[in-house]
Amino acid sequence: MADPNGFLKHERKTPARRPIPLRLRDWREVYQPFSDDETKTQAARCMDCGVPFCHQGCPLGNLIPEWNELVRLGRWDEASDRLHATNNFPEFTGRLCPAPCEGSCVLGIGDDPVSIKVVEQQIADHAAAAGGLAPRPARTSTGYKVAVVGSGPAGLAAAQQLARAGHTVTVFERDGRIGGLLRYGIPEYKMDSAVLDKRLAQLAAEGVRFITHCQVGTELTAQQLRDGFDATVIATGATVARELDVPGRDLSGVHLAMDYLVQANRVVEGSLDQPEIDAAGKHVVIIGGGDTGADCYGTALRQGAASVTQLDIHAEPPATRDPSTPWPTYPLMLRMSSAHEEGGDRVFGVNSTLLEGTDGQVTGVHLVSGKRIPGGFEPQAGTEAHLRADLVLLALGFTGPERAGLLDELGVRLTDRGVVERDAGYATNVPGVYVAGDAGRGQSLIVWAIAEGRSAAASVDRYLTGRSELPDPLEPSAVALA
């Protein structure tokens, strides 16, 4: 039974961010530690509602009121067990999830919602610090071999679930290191890669085999994959970037966001001395108002950009929940990532019309204000403007997975949206081939990638053995079995 007066006694609190001048000098995580006592106080604000809407808000069906209560009582180990029952990687979501659960928290109707995401991260970090990421290898082997292609959160979640069900799992990754966007997309200041490495050690100890530098569809053919494995999970992400179709796109100094972020992350990990694309001393314009753009923003500031401006085609959202997204839906409202308070400018409701340059090098961006309309943008006459730019980063989202190579060779069908077609059990049209994460869903979130990885694993297990005890978060009735 939760503290019935907890939410009356305590205000919502989240961890403080490190001072801006300090954090701009390094790549360490932005948030300061949160004490056990502070976490217990925040967990005590949970009302343990009869109908916990936060469950529906979380794609993993995390059992939020249960672990809030266990944390309030200081029963960290049990809280960790309940959290890990539904989420393989709470240390990732605790740091990186936009927390749709908090948008569904009942307390949020008339007060600030419970700091669910913080409590989740603290439980996970507590467990890791106390050696709680102990391997849980399967007791027996089924003898079945499963290939997982792609090592982002979807592939890793599927691999861990399948290994725990007794299958022999091999994860193939074309990059030199495991982790997908968790490793080379998301900057270190949002999640220290040591957090990822700790979890990978657990998967390896549970028997998951990792093969890097292997582009499946080229270095390993689809036929070899089919011959060598009893089932395959495609978790290759949605890596095809949306392009900007304006004059000047070909100028030097105009780059896709991921080309920029991957290099910056490689420098931070020490595998690259100097990035080819460097914001130091430059006027940087980021076209695209989402998460990827925000990560370019924080990275450019840390590299010492002379100025950073992020352009968003959408109108500036309201400071609080927009009436079009009433509780318990995910609120449309202005979101400030940590990078946005570190300097630079955000410009809303603008479209870029031309990239200008001198001697083949970009020097500026022409833009116009207006209104986003379905399928386009309505410019407002007389609002044309110009921004100086030595580096332009395109962060316009992703259109879907790469088709050439693996998907074509396997004969996997795509939808009209260009993502891998799948049934309710994450099966593709090719028997024994399943899909999880952004490859089938389109560009999305880590929490969804983990949820789909878990669900696809349950389906693969059923395909191989005829039944499965693996929990399936996207099958509501299964949450209770977690």
Ligand X SMILES: Cc1cc2nc3c(=O)[nH]c(=O)nc-3n(C[C@H](O)[C@H](O)[C@H](O)COP(=O)(O)OP(=O)(O)OC[C@H]3O[C@@H](n4cnc5c(N)ncnc54)[C@H](O)[C@@H]3O)c2cc1C
Instruction: Please report the DSSP string for 391-456 in residue order.
Output: EEEE---EEE---TTHHHHHT--B-TTSSB---TTSB-SSTTEEE-THHHH-S--HHHHHHHHHHH
Measured CA to CA, the distance from residue 227 to residue 209 in angstroms comes to: 18
Could you give the CA distance from residue 175 to residue 184 in angstroms, rounded to a whole number? Answer: 9
Binding partner at 437 among ligand SF4, ligand X, none, C-beta below 5 to 8 Å by kind: ligand X
* Smallest separation (angstroms) from ligand SF4 to the CB of 61: 8
Interface stretch with ligand X, choices 116-124, 276-284, 310-318, 444-452 (CB under 6 A) = 444-452
- Residues in region 262-281 near ligand SF4 by CB under 6 A: none
Q: Which is nearer to ligand SF4, 179 or 473 (CB)?
A: 473
Region from 95-103, 127-135, 295-303, 378-386 binding ligand SF4, contact rule CB under 6 A: 95-103
Query: Taking a C-beta distance cutoff of 8 angstroms, is the pair 48, 80 a contact?
Result: no
Could you say which of ligand X, ligand SF4, none residue 235 binds, taking C-beta under 5 to 8 angstroms by partner kind?
ligand X
Smaller CB separation from ligand SF4, 102 or 390: 102
* Residues of this chain, 98-137, that bind ligand X according to CB under 6 A: none
Spatial contact of 480 and 55, defined as CB atoms under 8 Å apart? no
* Residue 391, φ and ψ in degrees, nearest 5: -140, 125
Residue 116, binding choice from ligand SF4, ligand X, none, Cβ under 5 to 8 Å by partner class = ligand SF4
Q: Are 169 and 209 in contact (CB under 8 A)?
A: yes
Please give the Cα distance from 459 to 466 (Å, whole number): 10
Q: Are 89 and 120 in contact (CB under 8 A)?
A: no
Tokens of 464: 């191989």
How would you classify the pairing of strands 209-211 and 168-172?
Answer: parallel
Of residues 298 and 349, the one with the C-beta less far from ligand X: 298
Residue 101 binding target from ligand X, ligand SF4, none, CB below 5 to 8 Å by type: ligand SF4
What is the gyration radius of the CA atoms in the chain, in angstroms?
23
Q: How many residues does the chain have?
A: 482
Classify 184 as helix, strand or coil.
Answer: helix
Give the position of tokens 């992020």: 310
97 binds ligand SF4 (CB under 6 A): yes
Phi, psi of 316 (to 5 degrees): -65, 125
Contact between 173 and 208 (Cβ < 8 Å) = no
State yes or no: residue 289 binds ligand X (CB under 6 A): no
The least distance separating ligand SF4 from the CB of residue 162, rounded to whole angstroms, comes to 21
Instruction: Say how many residues touch ligand SF4, by CB under 6 A.
Output: 14
| 39 is a site residue for ligand X (CB under 6 A) | no
Determine if the peptide bond prior to 187 is cis (ω within 30°).
no
| Sheet of strand 209-211, all strands in order from the earlier edge strand to the far edge | 209-211, 168-172, 145-149, 231-234, 433-435
Binding mask of the shown chain, residues 6 to 45, with x at each position contacting ligand SF4 by CB under 6 A: ----------------------------------------
What does the alpha-carbon distance between residue 229 and residue 442 come to, in Å, rounded to a whole number? 26
* Residue (117 or 174) nearer to ligand SF4, CB: 117
From candidates 104, 115, 263, 292, binder to ligand X by CB under 6 A: 292
Residue 78 C-beta: closest distance to ligand X, Å: 27
63 lies in the site for ligand SF4, by CB under 6 A: no
Which residues, at least 6 apart from 322, have a Cβ–Cβ distance to it below 8 Å?
Answer: 331, 332, 333
Among ligand SF4, ligand X, none, residue 292 binds (CB under 5-8 Å by kind): ligand X
Assess 174 for contact with ligand X (CB under 6 A): yes
Contact 399, 238 (CB under 8 A): yes
Residue 435: contacted member of ligand X, ligand SF4, none (CB under 5 to 8 Å, by partner type): none
Contact positions with ligand SF4 (CB under 6 A) in 100-159: 100-101, 116-117, 120
Q: Give the whole-angstrom CA distance, residue 9 versus residue 4.
A: 10
Cβ distance to ligand X smaller for residue 147 or 165: 147
Which entry of ligand X, ligand SF4, none binds 407, CB below 5 to 8 A by partner kind?
none
Among 241, 446, 464, 470, binds ligand X (CB under 6 A): 446
Q: Does 79 bind ligand SF4 (CB under 6 A)?
A: no
Q: Where along the sequence are the contacts to ligand SF4 (CB under 6 A)?
A: 57-58, 60, 62, 64, 93, 97, 99-101, 116-117, 120, 447
Q: Where along the sequence are the contacts to ligand X (CB under 6 A)?
A: 96-97, 149-155, 172-175, 180-181, 185-186, 190, 215-217, 235-237, 261, 291-292, 295, 405-406, 437-439, 444-447, 449
